[in-house]
């Protein structure tokens, strides 16, 4: 029985004009052991005539001042961050400190190539909506120069089956403030402070483990047994040579903490946390063998060992590998897991499975045919033949599904739960 899928008209495209100021450190290639290049740059600026310093500042403000919020503060902050570590420059005038800071900064278009693989949670503020309509908050994977992935956020409202609107993001994009005392560590938590407007906050790679990108954040609103809720986001940190799973924690989407997961299972991709404890334990889905969906349990949110294979390839559309499309969703019938499958010519499709509510190791059903698959008009993009999601919602008896297309842009659809469940076997 085919599943009913209702598509929204909205398409969310990447905006190359959205840029952020991020750190830049000039250095020498391997084999060159010259003088301290950073110190040379700082000394050069200190030697400039006053007219040259004024010229540089005028050009910076003309080109970038209106593009970036608190532009001067960003440059001065960058100077303070590297002075004493990369070079030594004692009490320079404010204008020269700004220019030095600019030499150790770069403008980066974080979604120049793609805006995709969304993950959706209920917005903390649901005022102004009624019934099953809702406001949402999305994390999306923005991809820029060098195939580098960052996390950006959007908010919006979903009414009915297909009436989706995304709020216009702020014209500014802001790099979060990083707690220096923790940022130098690659094995412990890093505290970040973003903007009051979540659409301004950009989480770009800051740790050695993330130098190749922060990929596919799966957001979930986790509710403890006492009713307190916290937002978690599992994501893949790519160093350029290896991967590990890390966890984002926030209560308000302004203050964040990033922390690596530990244990043998933490080296897998696509980990997705259940939205509550089951039998007193944290429960996680993963893809540790790059083939099947695995189930993991732990008494410690940050330590994940072992695990058991849960759902393996079975059909033509998922014959290469299976994975989740975000955290399981608790419905009356059990735990609804939106899945992805990889089939011929590495085509990614979206499916679904149902797990027992009391024992999620029991698979009650799964769809034999994909719920959503790449369409001819959607096949072209950064990676062709892909539809993929990192997190969905259920409102009433309807699944709300944001999804990435061809690793390029984002679309929206909804599916009646009864139609989806009826297609399972």
DSSP output for 178-217:
E-HHHHT-SSS-EEEE--SSGGGBEE---SGGGTTEEEEE
Which pLDDT value is given to residue 186?
65
Which pLDDT value is given to residue 382?
80
Residue 379: pLDDT band (50, 70, 90) is confident
The arithmetic mean of pLDDT across residues 103-109, rounded, is 96
239-297 pLDDT per residue, tens: 989 999 999 999 999 999 999 999 999 998 899 999 999 999 999 999 999 999 999 99
Which residues, at least 6 apart from 311, have a Cβ–Cβ distance to it below 8 Å?
A: 292, 293, 322, 337, 339, 353, 363, 366
CB contact burial 4-38 (16+ within 10 A = b; e otherwise): ebeebebebebbeebbbbbeeeeeeeeeeeeeeeb
Residue 181: pLDDT band (50, 70, 90) is very low
Reported pTM: 0.93
Q: What structural domains and CATH numbers belong to the chain?
A: 6-17+110-422 (2.115.10.20), 19-108 (no CATH)
Which pLDDT value is given to residue 189?
86
pLDDT at 32 over 80: no
Q: Which two tokens stand for residue 15?
A: 């905006």
233, 248 Cβ separation under 8 angstroms: yes
Q: What is the DSSP string of 47-115?
A: HS-HHHHHHHHHHHIIIIITTSTTHHHHHHHHHHHHBTTTB---S--HHHHHHHHHHTEEEEETTSSEE
Which residues, at least 6 apart from 366, have a Cβ–Cβ distance to it below 8 Å?
A: 311, 314, 339, 351, 352, 353, 354, 424, 425
pLDDT at 183 over 70: no
214-253 pLDDT per residue, tens: 999 999 999 999 999 999 999 999 998 999 999 999 999 9
Q: How far apart are CA 240 and CA 255, in angstroms?
A: 27
Match 């820029």 to its residue by tokens: 144
pLDDT at 164 over 70: yes
pLDDT at 327 over 70: yes
The arithmetic mean of pLDDT across residues 185-199, rounded, is 86
The arithmetic mean of pLDDT across residues 178-201, rounded, is 79
Share of the chain above pLDDT 90, in %: 86
C-alpha dihedral over 88, 91, 92, 95, to 10 degrees? 120
What is the residue-averaged pLDDT of the chain? 94
The arithmetic mean of pLDDT across residues 64-76, rounded, is 94
**Which backbone phi and psi does 142 adopt, to 5 degrees?**
-95, 135
pLDDT at 299 over 90: yes
Residue 3: pLDDT band (50, 70, 90) is very high
The arithmetic mean of pLDDT across residues 147-171, rounded, is 96
Which residues, at least 6 apart from 331, have a Cβ–Cβ distance to it below 8 Å?
A: 394, 417
267 in helix, strand or coil?
helix
Q: How far apart are CA 364 and CA 359, in angstroms?
A: 10
The arithmetic mean of pLDDT across residues 347-363, rounded, is 97
Which pLDDT value is given to residue 31?
77
User: Residue 87 half-sphere exposure, CB side, CA atoms within 13 Å?
Assistant: 27
Which pLDDT value is given to residue 276?
98
Residue 36: pLDDT band (50, 70, 90) is confident
Which pLDDT value is given to residue 185?
56
Residue 173 exposed, middle or buried by CB count within 10 Å (0-12, 13-18, 19+): buried
pLDDT at 89 over 70: yes
The candidate with the shortest Cα–Cα distance to 215, out of 232, 239, 231, 197, is 239
Q: How far apart are CA 300 and CA 32, in angstroms?
A: 46
Q: How far apart are CA 409 and CA 142, in angstroms?
A: 10
78, 71 Cβ separation under 8 angstroms: no
User: Residue 151 half-sphere exposure, CB side, CA atoms within 13 Å?
Assistant: 30
Q: Which two tokens stand for residue 62?
A: 């003309």
């Amino acid at each position: 029985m085919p599943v009913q899928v209702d598509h929204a008209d909205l398409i969310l495209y990447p905006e190359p004009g959205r840029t952020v100021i991020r750190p830049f450190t000039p250095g020498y290639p391997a084999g060159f052991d010259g003088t301290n290049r950073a110190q040379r740059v700082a000394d050069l600026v200190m030697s400039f005539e006053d007219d040259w310093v004024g010229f540089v500042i005028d050009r910076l403000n003309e080109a970038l001042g209106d593009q970036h919020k608190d532009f001067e503060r960003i440059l001065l902050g960058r100077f303070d961050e590297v002075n004493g570590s990369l070079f030594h420059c004692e009490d320079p005038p404010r204008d020269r400190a700004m220019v030095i800071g600019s030499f150790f900064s770069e403008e980066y278009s974080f979604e120049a190539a793609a805006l995709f693989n969304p993950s959706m949670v209920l917005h903390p503020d649901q005022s102004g909506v009624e019934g099953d309509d809702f406001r949402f908050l999305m994390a999306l994977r923005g991809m820029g120069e060098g195939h580098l992935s960052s996390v950006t956020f959007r908010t919006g409202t979903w009414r009915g089956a297909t009436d989706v609107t995304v709020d216009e993001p702020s014209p500014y994009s802001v790099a979060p403030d990083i707690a220096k005392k923790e940022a130098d560590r690659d094995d412990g938590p890093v505290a970040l402070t973003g903007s009051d407007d979540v659409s301004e906050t950009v989480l770009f790679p800051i740790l050695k483990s993330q130098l190749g990108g922060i990929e596919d954040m799966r957001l979930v609103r986790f509710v403890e047994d006492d009713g307190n809720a916290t937002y978690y986001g599992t994501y893949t940190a790519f160093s350029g040579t290896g991967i590990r799973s890390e966890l984002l924690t926030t209560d308000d989407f302004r203050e964040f903490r990033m922390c690596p997961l530990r244990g043998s299972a933490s080296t897998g991709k696509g980990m997705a946390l259940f939205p509550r404890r089951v039998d007193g334990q944290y429960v996680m889905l993963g893809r540790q063998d790059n083939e099947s969906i695995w189930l993991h349990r732990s008494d410690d949110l940050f330590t994940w060992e072992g695990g058991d294979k849960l759902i393996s390839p079975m059909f033509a559309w998922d014959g290469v590998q299976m994975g989740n499309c975000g955290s399981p969703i608790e419905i009356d019938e059990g735990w609804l897991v939106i899945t992805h499958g990889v089939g011929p010519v590495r085509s990614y499709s979206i499916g679904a499975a149902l797990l027992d509510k009391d024992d999620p190791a029991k698979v009650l059903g799964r769809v034999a045919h994909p719920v959503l698959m790449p369409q001819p008009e959607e096949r072209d993009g950064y990676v062709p033949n892909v539809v993929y999601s990192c997190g969905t919602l259920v409102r009433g008896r309807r699944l709300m599904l944001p999804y990435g297309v061809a690793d390029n842009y984002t679309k929206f659809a909804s599916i009646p739960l009864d139609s989806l469940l009826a297609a399972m076997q």
